[in-house]
């Protein structure tokens, strides 16, 4: 989860989510279009507020996972093909 002070510093809304701080250039996240600064809010329709939430969603998926993101003020949906 993103601490309230950090949310304010980078202009994020006070909502659930995980902040993307790094994306491996050759990884599945980069291929799906995730970028540094994105806020992952949902994974397969379930709210994400911790790394554990995202990890559970990834491990229960069947090879792909749908992520709901906030990028600035734009809401995006991306599908990540898992390795």
pTM of the model: 0.81
Q: Return the closest-CA partner of residue 43 out of 4, 73, 23, 16.
A: 16
Annotate the chain with three-state secondary structure.
Answer: CCCHHHHHHHCCCCCCCEECCCCCCCCHHHHHCCCCCCEEEEECCEECCCHHHHHHHHHCCCCEEEEEEEECCEEEEEEEECC
Task: State pLDDT tens for residues 29-58.
Answer: 999 999 998 999 999 999 998 889 999 999
Residue 12 has a pLDDT of 58
């Amino acid at each position: 989860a993103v601490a309230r002070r950090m949310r304010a510093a980078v202009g994020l809304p006070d909502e659930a989510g995980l902040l993307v701080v790094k994306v491996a250039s050759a990884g599945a996240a980069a291929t799906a279009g995730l970028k540094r600064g994105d806020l992952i809010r949902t994974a397969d329709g379930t709210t994400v507020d911790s790394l554990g939430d995202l990890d559970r969603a990834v491990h229960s998926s069947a090879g792909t996972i749908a992520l709901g993101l906030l990028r600035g003020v734009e809401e995006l949906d991306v599908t990540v093909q898992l390795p």
